[in-house]
Structure 1
Amino acid sequence: MGCTTNHSVIVPVFALISMFSLSSWINVVGLWVELPIMVQKLPERWNLPSYMTLVIQCCNIAPAIYTLAGKIKCRKKQNSSNSGCSDAKRDVALPMIIILISISSALLNSFFWDRTAYIGRAERSVALMFFLSLSSVASCLSALVYLPYMARYPSVYLSAFYFGQGLSGLLPGLIGLGQGLGGNPTCANVTVWNSSCLNATFSNCSSEDVKYLLKPVYPQPKFSVQIFLILISLLLVVSFLAFYLLNFSRLNQYQLRKNASSDNVATVSGDDKTNADVDRKNNGLVSNNHHRSSGDNKEVRAAAAADVEDESKLISPSPSSQYTLSASETNSNASTSAVVVKNLAEPQLSKSHLAFYLSSIVAINMATNGIIPATQSYTCLPYSNVVYTLTVRLSSVVGSLSSLSSMFIPKPSIKVFFFMILTALSVVVFHVVIAVLSPTPPLVNTVYGPILIVCTALIMTSLFSFAKVTAASRMHAYGGRRALKWCGAVTQLGSFLGAMLAFALINWTSIFTSISPCSAEH
């Protein structure tokens, strides 16, 4: 047996890393949480979520450009010298730039989110879409930039990193719930005069120049969208300060010296552990704590899963986490368990299991990042604005809690995973059918309809969130780096296909129908 290294956790460093990673998706999630209010005031109305979904997915081109540029720069650097591609200054500078962009976009958006302009003959929410684009680019890039920075810390701090990413969905949801449910609108009489009549004296106006309309008047939330976005900006400022302290405080210097002094010992320990696992594999003595299996291949897979159990529990709950983890494995400070995966598990994922997990990830992301967000207004608003508000904000909280719980709950078997996916996809079909039947879906004027919609949405969100982490963990444990690359690719593919499909069906067909809350009272 070789020497072992036990990295003790420094609580302030753990807390600072959690606050730093909070900045990854909090800006984008915050805008989704405010959708029930924005839909009431912006010209796109019920179609607004489909536009936002498309914008976010189009911004995924930023990580692709960044990755391509990095590879080109790396090759040039390697050709000119024998030095590696890592750059410590860049690893610190890029996260700071990303957080500053997020702070700026959130703060400016708080003042201009409701500014519109005419594009062609249609009024559009140009300000919101512009700042959403900035936020999305920053969030997508954070998936590639943050993890390489984390390689300077012991792997035990990865749990703090992913915990903070989970909070990036949880905190906006909780703030949104504190904003109140808003309530359902009342209909008020509004008098509309003809423009030609307004330019003359009212004595010359006839009854044909006057129209009496019923317009919805929505209850005001406890605090406005502007205050909400300012709160998000303040959280991002906290994240920036945490990152600053991580890099320029004495606490950070102490942790880095401690990490550097133990790197050699950890490397020896990792090599010995790998050799020991190979020996156990050859002797047929490897077993798994969660299930027993027969055959050499199953035993090898079980051993790999046991060795990377702690690492697998740290998979990020964010949409791009599966891709970003593969980037961290290229770093020279990759964890010991990643070495075991490379040597043992990478060849052990069968083609059928690989195809199943990849197709599941495509389906999950088509639903969660495309179809459901885009059509949710049509599913919920016919029942009431309160139903839409509850569904969006509770889903943000429940999804984050489900992802965080995966750090502590054992991963399910492939049969249980299949049942989870099947159940969640069944709920997706149910919600899409309800959206198609809008504005008069079943149970619309009963107490059971709203309860059914909210409860099924929360069940679907929790199952999908847990399934995302499970799929990525399995592929990481059994397929290694190559499987994670495929995982990241199909994640983006599913998200893009879902967003494009939903946008086309909502905006270019008459399948989905919206209605004003007061239209039935004309």
Structure 2
Amino acid sequence: MSLLTHLLACLFGMGSWISINGLWVELPLIVPQVPEGWYLPSYLSVLIQMANVGPLLVTLMHRFRPGALNETAVVYGILVLGTAASFLLAFFWKESVVVAGAPRSVALLVLTFFLSVVDCTSSVTFLPFMTRLQPHFLTTYFIGEGVSGLLPALVALIQGVGVVRCINSTRLLNRTSGGAAADELQAQYQPANFSPDVFFFFLSAMMLVSLLAFLLLNHHPSVARERPTSRYTTGVKAGKGAEQRPMMEPFRAPPPRRWSSFGTGAYSWREVVCICVLLAWVNALTNTVLPSVQSYSCMPYGSKTYHLSAALAAVSNPLACFLAMFVSVRSLPVLGVLTLMGSSVGAYIMSAAVLSPCPPLVQEPSGAALMVLSWTVFVLSLSYVKVMIGLILRDEGHSALVWCGAVVQLGSLLGAVTMFPLVSVFGYFSSGDTCNTECP
């Protein structure tokens, strides 16, 4: 019956970020129908970072009032809130209200804030809950977290979001004197196969599935048999010496040396700081820094390259989690090397975004293939690092996973604060014209 527990853990993890991930992939269909236009992504970025008040409150409660917070009730509350907010979006996402003399998508922005609170708070509540199950189920949870990005992307591909066709159009060179006309290509977005309303109903259904999975994780008798035994009560298997009878006390091996007061003390403070820095850096790159420039790095190579990069990147996340189930590398130097490799690939992606609309090999098929491969390797390597750090902190106990979630949100926040002014305020990146860009 552990297969059932694995499935439930995966579905539970799916509810962590599926709402916000789904909202982002739906933006090409939402933006033309709201008064904010393409300023909407900037507003959403600010709202998502404001929603970090949720994980901040939970972390402070764990720090100053340990044991006072009913985590199960909080998880139930945020899953219900996420289901309701996604459902209401289907009815109110395109409704506008006049504020300060201008129409504003108040309902969309408010409901997005609630969804952001749900997803941000999941980082510091879902992970600690997983300590109630045996350690190998945490990897399955991370697979579900990866699916929360993959599933909306696949549904958006079926929906036909952002598919562009270049058509011939005639442009008048001199309107006043009736001058000659010139032919040029014009980007035309193709109509979607179904509306955003249906997509938001789908997101609501997925949140409901996650809620039901959490309910079964708490109450299904088969899952109860998967609770950690006494050998896992501290998050680390006890040594054989701890299982000896009292009469063998004089011959029991001495307890392992504690290197710090963090978790079980298995890591020194220097190593703990290294782990937290790696975790914050990896999440900053994968959650905010590189996703904010994905369109700039891919669109010069064509819309097919963009959609293929997004799809394979979404597949790479759960694939890395699945790989971690069979290949477990917890060496900090090795994880550091993987982080360096992924960051180097990320630097190439960032350079392509900076050079947009004329990145390297823009007119060559090899350029498009290299960009798709870069996004795949980038997400695969850094997602593996995230999973392994999560497993390391799982062994350090419940409070370590709370701090894990807090560091994840902190890294994402720092990445967003860095990229928001560059992308949305100063306009440092340029996308160019999809159909008419000419590069030397």
User: TM-score by structure 2 length?
Assistant: 0.77
Cα contact 1:190–1:215 (8 A) shared by 2 = no
Which one of the candidate residues 403, 406, 413 is aligned to 1:496?
A: 413
Query: C-alpha displacement at 1:501, in angstroms?
Result: 0.8
Query: C-alpha displacement at 1:451, in angstroms?
Result: 1.7
Cα distance in 1 for residues equivalent to 2:33 and 2:304? 16
Cα distance in 1 for residues equivalent to 2:75 and 2:232? 31
CA change 1:127–1:431 in 2 (3 A) is: farther
Match of 1:333 in 2: none
Cα contact 2:123–2:405 (8 A) shared by 1 = no
Q: 3-state SS of the aligned residue for 2:164?
A: coil
Which one of the candidate residues 187, 199, 202 is aligned to 1:231?
A: 202
CA change 1:274–1:11 in 2 (3 A) is: closer
Cα distance in 2 for residues equivalent to 1:150 and 1:355? 23
Match of 1:218 in 2: 189
Match of 2:247 in 1: none
CA change 1:45–1:405 in 2 (3 A) is: farther
Is it true that 1:404 corresponds to 2:384 in the alignment?
Answer: no
Q: Which amino acid aligns with 2:310?
A: V
Cα contact 1:381–1:387 (8 A) shared by 2 = yes
Match of 2:388 in 1: 470
* 5+ residue gaps, structure 2: 245-249
Which one of the candidate residues 143, 155, 167 is aligned to 2:123?
A: 143
CA change 1:189–1:136 in 2 (3 A) is: same
Match of 2:147 in 1: 167
Cα distance in 2 for residues equivalent to 1:485 and 1:163? 19
Query: C-alpha displacement at 1:245, in angstroms?
Result: 5.4
Query: C-alpha displacement at 1:461, in angstroms?
Result: 0.7
Query: C-alpha displacement at 1:207, in angstroms?
Result: 9.2
Query: C-alpha displacement at 1:70, in angstroms?
Result: 6.8
Which one of the candidate residues 389, 403, 408 is aligned to 2:307?
A: 389
Query: C-alpha displacement at 1:499, in angstroms?
Result: 0.3
Match of 2:17 in 1: 25
Cα contact 1:185–1:517 (8 A) shared by 2 = no
Cα contact 2:127–2:402 (8 A) shared by 1 = no
Q: 3-state SS of the aligned residue for 2:304?
A: helix
Query: C-alpha displacement at 1:396, in angstroms?
Result: 1.7
Cα contact 2:164–2:189 (8 A) shared by 1 = yes
Cα contact 2:89–2:111 (8 A) shared by 1 = yes
Give the 5 Å matches for 1:255-270.
255=222, 266-267=229-230
Cα distance in 2 for residues equivalent to 1:103 and 1:46? 26
Cα contact 1:370–1:500 (8 A) shared by 2 = no
Query: C-alpha displacement at 1:375, in angstroms?
Result: 1.5
Q: 3-state SS of the aligned residue for 1:30?
A: helix
Cα distance in 1 for residues equivalent to 2:293 and 2:96? 23
CA change 1:378–1:256 in 2 (3 A) is: closer
Cα contact 1:19–1:238 (8 A) shared by 2 = yes
Query: C-alpha displacement at 1:437, in angstroms?
Result: 1.6
Cα contact 1:424–1:459 (8 A) shared by 2 = yes
Cα distance in 2 for residues equivalent to 1:11 and 1:442? 47
Cα distance in 2 for residues equivalent to 1:96 and 1:487? 21
Cα distance in 1 for residues equivalent to 2:408 and 2:224? 37
For the pair shown, which has the larger CA radius of gyration, 1 or 2? 1
Cα contact 2:153–2:314 (8 A) shared by 1 = yes
User: TM-score by structure 1 length?
Assistant: 0.66
Is it true that 1:440 corresponds to 2:403 in the alignment?
Answer: no
Query: C-alpha displacement at 1:456, in angstroms?
Result: 0.4
Q: Which amino acid aligns with 1:63?
A: P
Query: C-alpha displacement at 1:153, in angstroms?
Result: 5.8
Give the 5 Å matches for 1:80-229.
85=68, 91-92=72-73, 94-114=74-94, 127-146=107-126, 161-180=141-160, 183-187=163-167, 216-229=187-200
Cα distance in 1 for residues equivalent to 2:410 and 2:305? 31
Is it true that 1:367 corresponds to 2:297 in the alignment?
Answer: no
